[in-house]
Structure 1
Amino acid sequence: MQFSIVIPVYNVAPYLRECVDSVLAQNSTDYEIILVDDGSTDNSPAICDEYAEKYSQIKVIHKTNGGLSDARNFGIKEAQGDYLMFLDSDDFWNRENVLLDLHNIIKENNPDLIIHELSSFYNLEKIIPRKFKNKEIQNFSYDFKEDLKYLVNNDIYYATACNKVIKASIVKKNNIEFPKGKLHEDVVWCADIIPYINNYALYSNPFYYYRKERDGSLTVQIRPKNIIDLIDIISEKETLLSKFDGGLSYLSYNYYIYLNNVNLLEEELKQKYLRKLINLNYLLDYYPRNILSLKGKIRLAFYKLLGIKFAGLIEYNIRKLLKK
């Protein structure tokens, strides 16, 4: 089959049917759905089994809880398709022609990677499409290494697995896995695939609907582990990504996010991770300014002028006061 859609499942009973039905609605049948139940304690396992009994293209894996990365890795190992896709079980697709369109792109270009648009939404009341900048797309060569810097600087290549369709052989042959036990797993995975991608294609369709700020979601609240894991990841990937034009811009994009949040850590950890941030402060020179608002540009200049420690402390205290 052409596509394997890996869907990790953990306590998402209210959203799971909408997610799976959005794939079953496709006007193509050349795919499999792999539901990886990651030790759910709600009704999700029963829903998974119900779908597997009804639809032959659905496979279910029940496993003990190991986190999102572990669930995705299990799905990858079971995948039989030529291309891998990742769909989180509280999200869904909002088009019926997605797989047919992707099939046509593959037939024409045989890309290692397809990057597509997505939409963020808040209970469907506010939908924000994250679309490509068409003017910039026209100038791309579609050689991935050559274009990486432009893809990052134009907010096309960023840290999410869910807007990427990748050849399964690349992932399996090179043992590329999501890091078990770490948050920001997509930052790692999207960094690790960079050396192995040669040609790519773009699919201008924000069909993927990414649910924001769901109760119980890992992305709702910043915790110490979020901060520690992200700074460690950036430190670990610095050497790898410095080899590629645009690699440090990719890291800078993620580095910039938590500059003031290090102040949330307890004092000993704060000092340790503040030192790591300061050692990496040169990454600010690589930040993709094309995607910054005026406010963001002022913030960037503020950090470059005052330094990571003092600018971060000032911003942290201002945000703290505003919350009061």
Structure 2
Amino acid sequence: MQFSIVIPVYNVAPYLHECINSVLTQNFTDYEIILVDDGSTDNSPIICDEYAGKYSQIKVIHKTNGGLSDARNFGIRKAQGNYLMFLDSDDFWKGKNVLSEIHDIIRENNPDIIIHELSSFYDLEKIIPRKFKDEGVQKKSYDFKRDLKGLVNNDIYYATACNKVIKTSIVKENNIEFPKGKLHEDVVWCADIIHYINNYALYSNPFYYYRKEREGSLTVQIRPKNIIDLIDIISEKEPLLSKINGGLSYLSYNYYIYLNSVNLLEEKQKEKYLKKLIELDYLLDYYPKNILSFKGKIRLWFYKLFGIRHAGLIEYNIRKFLNR
């Protein structure tokens, strides 16, 4: 079959019907849906089984809770399609021609990976498409290694698995998995696949609706583990990605996120991870400035001028005061 669509499921009963139905309504039918129930305690397992009983292209895996990475990895191992897609169970697709149009791209170009647009979905009144920048799409060679820096600098290649359609063989043959037990698993996975991709294609359609600010979502608030895991990941991936043109831009994009949030950590951990941030401060020179707002450019200049320790503490205290 052409596509394996992996959907990790954990306590998302209110959203699961919309998610699954958005795939079932596609006018292209050569696909399988792999629902990975990650130890849900609500009605999600029952919903999964009901769909599997009605539709032959739906498979269900019930497993003990291991987190998002573990659930996705289970789905990858069971995948039989030529291409892998990831759809989080609180998100959904918009439109019926998505798979047929992606199939046309594959038939024409046989790319290792297809990168598509997505939309941030807050509610029916607030939907924000994250469109490709025109200058990022034009004059591309579609040689992935050659174009990576431009793809990162123009906000096309960034850390999410859900806007990428990748050859299953690349993932399986190179044992590329999501890191179990870590947050920011997409930062790791999107870094790890870079080395193995040769050619790519772009699909200009923000059909993927990424649900924002959902109660219970891991992305709603920053916790110490968010900060620790991300800084560890950047430190770990820096040696390899420094050898790839555009690799440091990719890391810098993620490095920039928690520069002041390290001050949320307890003192001993704070010093440890602040030291790591300072050792990697050269990454600020690689930040993709094309995607920075005016405020973002001021913030970047501020950190370069005053240094990670002092600028981070100043910003942290200002944000703390404003949030009172």
TM-score (norm 2): 1.00
3-state SS of 2:35 partner = strand
1:150-189 alignment, distance < 5 Å? 150-189=150-189
The aligned counterpart of 2:139 is 139
Give unpaired runs (5+ residues) of structure 2: none
The aligned counterpart of 1:62 is 62
How far residue 147 of structure 1 moved from its aligned partner, in angstroms, is: 0.1
Aligned partners of 2:259 and 2:312 also within 8 Å: yes
Q: How many residues align?
A: 324
Give me the whole-angstrom Cα distance separating, in 2, the residues matched to 1:193 and 1:243: 14
How far residue 181 of structure 1 moved from its aligned partner, in angstroms, is: 0.1
Instruction: Determine whether 1:114 maps to 2:114.
Output: yes
Question: Residue type matched to 1:164 in 2?
Answer: K
1:101-250 alignment, distance < 5 Å? 101-250=101-250
Question: Residue type matched to 1:248 in 2?
Answer: L
How far residue 316 of structure 1 moved from its aligned partner, in angstroms, is: 0.1
Give me the whole-angstrom Cα distance separating, in 1, the residues matched to 2:104 and 2:5: 18
The aligned counterpart of 1:311 is 311
Question: Would you identify which runs of 4 or more consecutive aligned residues in structure 1 move more than 4 Å?
Answer: none
How far residue 129 of structure 1 moved from its aligned partner, in angstroms, is: 0.2
The aligned counterpart of 2:20 is 20
3-state SS of 1:258 partner = coil
Give me the whole-angstrom Cα distance separating, in 1, the residues matched to 2:92 and 2:144: 28
How far residue 281 of structure 1 moved from its aligned partner, in angstroms, is: 0.1
CA RMSD of aligned residues (A): 0.5
Question: Residue type matched to 1:160 in 2?
Answer: T
Give me the whole-angstrom Cα distance separating, in 1, the residues matched to 2:78 and 2:195: 24
Residues 231-256 of structure 1: CA deviation (Å, up to 9, x unaligned): 00000000110111000000000000
Residues 143-174 of structure 1: CA deviation (Å, up to 9, x unaligned): 00000000000000000000000000000000
The aligned counterpart of 2:5 is 5
Q: Which moved more, 1:121-130 or 1:262-271?
A: 121-130
3-state SS of 2:170 partner = helix
Residues 174-208 of structure 1: CA deviation (Å, up to 9, x unaligned): 00000000000000000000000000000000000
Question: Residue type matched to 2:53 in 1?
Answer: E
3-state SS of 1:66 partner = coil
Give me the whole-angstrom Cα distance separating, in 2, the residues matched to 1:218 and 1:163: 19
Aligned partners of 2:4 and 2:81 also within 8 Å: yes
3-state SS of 2:175 partner = coil
Q: Which moved more, 1:167-176 or 1:129-138?
A: 129-138
Q: Which moved more, 1:120-129 or 1:50-59?
A: 120-129
How far residue 139 of structure 1 moved from its aligned partner, in angstroms, is: 1.1
Aligned partners of 2:136 and 2:156 also within 8 Å: no
Give me the whole-angstrom Cα distance separating, in 1, the residues matched to 2:300 and 2:171: 35
3-state SS of 1:257 partner = coil
Give me the whole-angstrom Cα distance separating, in 2, the residues matched to 1:125 and 1:226: 30
The aligned counterpart of 1:323 is 323
Give me the whole-angstrom Cα distance separating, in 2, the residues matched to 1:139 and 1:241: 24
The aligned counterpart of 1:270 is 270
Report % sequence identity: 84
TM-score (norm 1): 1.00
Give me the whole-angstrom Cα distance separating, in 1, the residues matched to 2:174 and 2:136: 31
Aligned partners of 2:11 and 2:44 also within 8 Å: yes
Aligned partners of 2:260 and 2:312 also within 8 Å: yes
Instruction: Determine whether 1:283 maps to 2:283.
Output: yes
Give me the whole-angstrom Cα distance separating, in 1, the residues matched to 2:12 and 2:123: 15
How far residue 123 of structure 1 moved from its aligned partner, in angstroms, is: 2.2
Q: Which moved more, 1:118-127 or 1:278-287?
A: 118-127
Residues 257-279 of structure 1: CA deviation (Å, up to 9, x unaligned): 00000000000000000000000
Question: Residue type matched to 2:108 in 1?
Answer: E
1:293-304 alignment, distance < 5 Å? 293-304=293-304
1:70-89 alignment, distance < 5 Å? 70-89=70-89
Instruction: Determine whether 1:253 maps to 2:249.
Output: no
Give me the whole-angstrom Cα distance separating, in 2, the residues matched to 1:315 and 1:215: 27
Give unpaired runs (5+ residues) of structure 1: none
